[in-house]
Amino acid sequence: MQYLFTANLKEADLPPGVSAIARGQAISLEQPWPFGPVLVSRVEDRDETGLAKLKAVPNIVAFSVAGLAEPGDEPVFVFGAHIMKDPEGMKPYIERVAPVIAPHSCRYLARSSTVFIHAGAFAPDRVALMQFPTAENVIAWYTGDAYAPLLAIRLRCTEAREVLMMAKGKIPDAVQQIIASKVPGAVPI
């Protein structure tokens, strides 16, 4: 099983065997996401034929990673798609983030440095996909004191892109207000 991340691709244009799991409102928590509207999808089989056809679709970005777990019913996803500037410096973050994020009911669906680029010029070196029960859980983790030193490591060691995305629908207004007041670099996608 794989997870496919696309930008500027309509859900109806996903290849056979690929189904969107997150198509709702999204916000980039750290810097602009200049690639267009995002879909996060589950690739149902290992047939690369459909994914290879994505290269022929103009103006899209598409990359995938191997999955660790099946998606659940939780309605909120966060994915990080980072370009590594200091892989050695990033090691403490990678080693320490799981126990810091766990109290916020996070489930890792994917976490890998093996990224397959299918289309477009954006080529992240590391991708993580997480699922949460609420957007409030995400913001409590992301803006919390326990995560602050790890976030500083990640921002220093990567060209960081962290995206909060609803499975369907809008990010709750209360969460958008918290993001606006506590996450100065956040930009709607």
Per-residue pLDDT 10s for the chain (189 aa) are 999 999 999 999 999 889 999 999 999 999 889 999 999 999 986 666 788 889 999 999 999 999 999 999 999 999 999 999 999 999 999 999 999 999 999 999 999 999 999 999 999 999 999 999 999 999 999 999 999 999 999 999 999 999 999 999 999 999 999 999 999 889 999
Number of compact structural domains in the chain: 1
Residues with Cβ within 8 Å of 29's Cβ and at least 6 positions away in sequence, in order, are 142, 162, 163, 164, 179, 183, 185, 186
How many angstroms separate the CA atoms of 7 and 3, rounded?
14
CATH number at residue 59: 3.30.70.100
Question: Domain range for residue 28?
Answer: 2-188
Cα separation, 16 vs 51, in Å, equals 9
